A and B are shown apart, each in its own frame.
Chain A
């Protein structure tokens, strides 16, 4: 009897304490940033550093004093890269803590599903470097923000880089490029652009799908060996990347001829193969590793230094960690921009944050102040352009670390623009949507 009373008392005390904490927290201004993460499953090796980077950045913003005093509240939800669990997480988190500011699904499949739901809930989606390529067209996709790059820009930069190493766009004629891709919406996204480019420039395109999760690729690489393509573009994620590179080593395909997309160019992808992967090149979406970046040093000092780091310390500054960091920065800076208009130091709603993402203007001085010098190029979005920048570089794995080995490239607007517009119009027609009017752009 006594024991039970004690337990009850303890439970009541705990409840009281927790409600006290929450009421106190509610008194200050708060901004809720939900995180869809995958720390388990076949894609966890890549999902974990990304999530850690994003989470650490949110912690850093709080350590810096929040967004003009507004503290960030963060909650993670595990999706396992599965679309249905991702949708469940979205529904679970969107109404919590005063309403979600923005969602970053980190999965093209979940992005497709949420693209249908977000407009109804008035919550913007940031899909930095992934998601629907045509969503760069803000005139149709009001709530999607593929900031700093889409798969089409990535594929275009790869084609440009290959042409440059050959000595000109016309040299691509008669060459053979194989696309080894993850057989999902993610891997299929670059195909229309590569087909367009192959028709225009006269190279032959082999499409070699690898089924989820990508640990079985013997047949694919036998085809590579038989067809002997001049170049292989790798569009993998998670375990698929390291398996691909191992298979390339096994079949003796030169690693120097393999180019990965930015999701195939991180430490977990090549570290198991180590020196065998030397010479493998991949896109660097704006950045590569960032061990020397000021923001990383600040995180090591203010977050990891206080024992609050989300992941292991030595991973801070790795490619995917940096990408998580940058995605977090975009999410926060959009809110800061929205605060400029809707009231500094105040909570903004999802719809107001959307305005912020649409009017993002990250100039060099602003980026320097945030500690992103040399990590991100200046980027600005508008009502029509939800991407902001399509710059990318090539990085090479030297056996131990990733090194930037090329100049900046920019995706060819003359090819991309009509494709994006046509695809967005097709989407709008199938949904019976009207293009946004100039008046709508002001809202």
Chain B
């Protein structure tokens, strides 16, 4: 009733090709973005900003990058943590070694070096696919873990291998307080989200999807598998690299290679699978699920226990958190194998015909 596109006629190609052809969608997304920029900093406190929203934004960006590779191009990758690490350490080195380096350029250079590494480790995708490829990309993970632990030059010759940045600013504006950090991450995410959405709608995005659906057929109709696969690796690693740089610079402030271990790669892959492969929206759902749910459970369970007069020990909460989280993953995968994004679109479909479902 409220949500239907009847009567919205497209009279030009431009209006037919816009990202959100339905007016309600467009207004809704604009409202969400406006709320995120203006409303959220006013409502939420520092803890929410620093501990939940900033990690959520940055990991959404990383999941977006992984989704391009895994969801759109069908190349399963377990090296995303490594590309994040490359982004973080490359950005660190450009930022620290070159005097007066602007933050944004440093972040983009993180993305650039991650792209190079991503292309190199994407080369096996030309010969192997599926599970075999995921094992090959795992090599990227182990190689980068090794490099950042062993090659002292990357970590600024610090004794412990832990590096730190401070005094961040963009165009003279400081990025120090939680609100500033949040706005900065949000701005980066919006820009990259828009870029990614447009990329997957364009010719190259269609090539990726053709490769994903059947690479032999795609090459028969004139798509070069090499170009399509490597470009997916490049774009994905760039976004993941920038996310890694943000994770180090903005979220942690001081980090060690363990922050980008193999668990991070799995986490990102699960975000994409749970959120919805081949869906920009799904990346956000997946990140929210993986980042926010454990922290929510960790605080919600003792609160519930306290309400019924039960004091749950820290260890029990932690174990329960893992169990409930695991059970929810299985449940969601059974109920909706196509991810949370699919649930979202089913919901939209239902809204469209509501209140007359037939």
Q: Count A-side interface residues using an 8 Å CB cutoff.
A: 45
A77 to B306, CA, bound (A): 16
Asked whether, in the complex, the Cβ of B159 is within 8 Å of the Cβ of A188, the reply is yes
Per DSSP, chain B at the interface is helix
B319 within 8 A of A: yes
B171 within 8 A of A: no
Residue among B52, B307, B314 making CB contact with A39, cutoff 8 Å: B314
State which residues 32-47 of A face B: CB under 8 Å: 37, 39-40, 44
- Cβ–Cβ < 8 Å partners of A14 in chain B: 307, 309
A40 to B50, CA, bound (A): 24
Asked whether, in the complex, the Cβ of A113 is within 8 Å of the Cβ of B258, the reply is no
A44 to B316, CA, bound (A): 13
Residue among A191, A209, A212 making CB contact with B261, cutoff 8 Å: A212
- Cβ–Cβ < 8 Å partners of A279 in chain B: none
Asked whether, in the complex, the Cβ of A116 is within 8 Å of the Cβ of B315, the reply is no
Asked whether, in the complex, the Cβ of B256 is within 8 Å of the Cβ of A91, the reply is no
A142 to B322, CA, bound (A): 38
Asked whether, in the complex, the Cβ of B261 is within 8 Å of the Cβ of A92, the reply is no
Asked whether, in the complex, the Cβ of A91 is within 8 Å of the Cβ of B47, the reply is yes
**Chain-A contact segment, one of B162-170, B231-239, B326-334:** B162-170
A109 within 8 A of B: yes
B160 within 8 A of A: yes
Most chain A beta-carbon neighbours within 10 Å: one of B159, B166, B299:
B159
Residue among A77, A80, A95, A112 making CB contact with B160, cutoff 8 Å: A112
Give A433's nearest chain B residue, CB to CB.
B166
State which residues 112-167 of B face A: CB under 8 Å: 145, 149, 159-162, 164, 166-167
Give A193's nearest chain B residue, CB to CB.
B159
A115 to B254, CA, bound (A): 9
State which residues 4-18 of A face B: CB under 8 Å: 11, 14, 18
Contact with B along A57-95 (1 / 0, CB 8 A): 000000000000000000011101001100110011001
A188 to B258, CA, bound (A): 13
State which residues 111-150 of A face B: CB under 8 Å: 112-113, 115-117, 120, 132-133
Asked whether, in the complex, the Cβ of B149 is within 8 Å of the Cβ of A183, the reply is yes
A2 within 8 A of B: no
- Cβ–Cβ < 8 Å partners of A108 in chain B: 160
Give B159's nearest chain A residue, CB to CB.
A192
Asked whether, in the complex, the Cβ of A189 is within 8 Å of the Cβ of B96, the reply is no
Asked whether, in the complex, the Cβ of A191 is within 8 Å of the Cβ of B159, the reply is yes
Asked whether, in the complex, the Cβ of B164 is within 8 Å of the Cβ of A87, the reply is no
A251 within 8 A of B: no
Asked whether, in the complex, the Cβ of A185 is within 8 Å of the Cβ of B51, the reply is no
B29 within 8 A of A: no
Asked whether, in the complex, the Cβ of B160 is within 8 Å of the Cβ of A39, the reply is no
A430 within 8 A of B: yes
Residue among A84, A183, A185 making CB contact with B162, cutoff 8 Å: A185
Residue among A92, A116, A185, A192 making CB contact with B256, cutoff 8 Å: A185
- Cβ–Cβ < 8 Å partners of A191 in chain B: 159
B46 within 8 A of A: yes
Asked whether, in the complex, the Cβ of B314 is within 8 Å of the Cβ of A77, the reply is yes
- Cβ–Cβ < 8 Å partners of A223 in chain B: none
Listed in ascending order, the chain B residues whose CB lies under 8 Å from chain A are 46-47, 50-52, 55, 96, 145, 149, 159-162, 164, 166-167, 176, 251-256, 258-259, 261, 295, 298-299, 306-307, 309, 313-315, 317-319, 322
9 new A-B contacts, CB < 8 A, other than A40-B319, A78-B298, A185-B160, are A39-B315, A83-B252, A91-B51, A109-B256, A116-B253, A117-B253, A184-B258, A188-B161, A212-B258
Q: Which 4 A-B pairs have the closest CB atoms?
A: A39-B315, A185-B160, A116-B253, A91-B51
Listed in ascending order, the chain A residues whose CB lies under 8 Å from chain B are 11, 14, 18, 37, 39-40, 44, 48, 51, 76-78, 80, 83-84, 87-88, 91-92, 95, 108-109, 112-113, 115-117, 120, 132-133, 183-186, 188-189, 191-192, 209, 211-212, 423, 430-432
14 contacts between A and B (CB under 8 A): A39-B318, A40-B322, A44-B315, A48-B315, A78-B318, A84-B251, A88-B51, A95-B47, A113-B253, A116-B254, A133-B159, A188-B159, A430-B96, A431-B164
